[in-house]
Amino acid sequence: MSIKVVVLYPYPKDQEAFEKAYTSEHKPLVAKSLTRLTKVTYSHILMTPQGNSPFYLIAELHYASLEDLQADNSTPEAQALSVQAAAISTGGLPIALICDEETVTF
């Protein structure tokens, strides 16, 4: 079983300011604070089949187990990271989903 946290960031009021804060502040904090991560992927949303998306960015934080996720998120550093994510997300609060991932390769 592979566990991941999917974080959906709403479209920011100021895209340039968000990118600067996310790249120079948030990403380094993720690497420093969440020590049990196995992989992180970042995806900028281009569009939906219906047109524009209310979401700007998806971050996927991968863990080997639910226990690793829970241990990482029980630290003061992880709590500070969540506060910082909310502060830079000027389009609204980010949405975090905890998922059990299944991969099918073709």
pLDDT at residue 15, as a whole number: 95
pLDDT at residue 24, as a whole number: 96
pLDDT at residue 22, as a whole number: 96
pLDDT at residue 88, as a whole number: 95
Domains of the chain (ranges, CATH numbers): 2-57+65-101 (3.30.70.100)
CA 2 to chain centre: 16
pLDDT at residue 40, as a whole number: 97
Give the pLDDT confidence of 36-54 residue by residue, as tens digits.
Answer: 999 999 999 999 999 999 9
The reported pTM is: 0.93
What stretches of the chain show up as alpha helix (H) in DSSP? Answer: 15-21, 27-33, 66-73, 76-88
Q: Which residues of the chain have pLDDT under 50?
A: none
